[in-house]
Amino acid sequence: MACRKLRRGALLDYFTELPPSLIGLEARASAHHWARALALLGHEARLIAPSYVKPYVQRQKNDAADAAAIAEALTRPHMRFVPVKSVAQQGALMLPGYAICRSSSGPCRSTPCAGICRNGV
C-alpha cells in the first residue's frame, strides 16, 4: 500500500508508472469512471460498497482513514465487490432521474438534477 496524496489530475500519471496492481476503490459516483480508466492501464480495480468499508474505519473519518479501511477490506477473502459499470450502463441508470428533472417546472436547480443535466445522458 502506497501512502501518497494525489490530486485528481495527477492520478492517472501516477498509476501509469506503476506495474499492474490490485486497486481498491470505494463505490461512489465517479468510482466506475476511475475503475475503467485504471483497467485500461492494466490494473485490476475492485469497487467496494461504502457499507462494507465502514466497519474497517478505525479512526475519525478522513481520506487517510478511508484509504486504510479500503485496503483492509480489500484483503478480506469473502469480501463482496461491486461490478464496474460501463458508460452505457451508467447512462441507462441516469435516465429515470433525467425524466424527473425534465418534467419538473423550472430549470435544473436541485443538486441531483444539476448533476444529470451537466453530465448528460
pLDDT tens profile 78-110: 888 989 988 888 777 776 666 666 665 555 555
Torsion on CA atoms 12, 8, 2, 5, rounded to nearest 10: 150
Residue 39 confidence (pLDDT): 93
User: What average pLDDT score do residues 71-84 get?
Assistant: 89
Degrees, nearest 5: CA angle 97-89-24: 105
pTM: 0.72
Neighbours of 101 (CB within 10 A): 19
- Residues 47-67 have pLDDT tens digits of 999 888 888 888 777 878 888
Tell me the domain boundaries of the chain.
Answer: 8-74, 87-119
With cell 466506475, the residue in question is 32
Residue 56 is classified by DSSP as G
Residue 19 confidence (pLDDT): 92
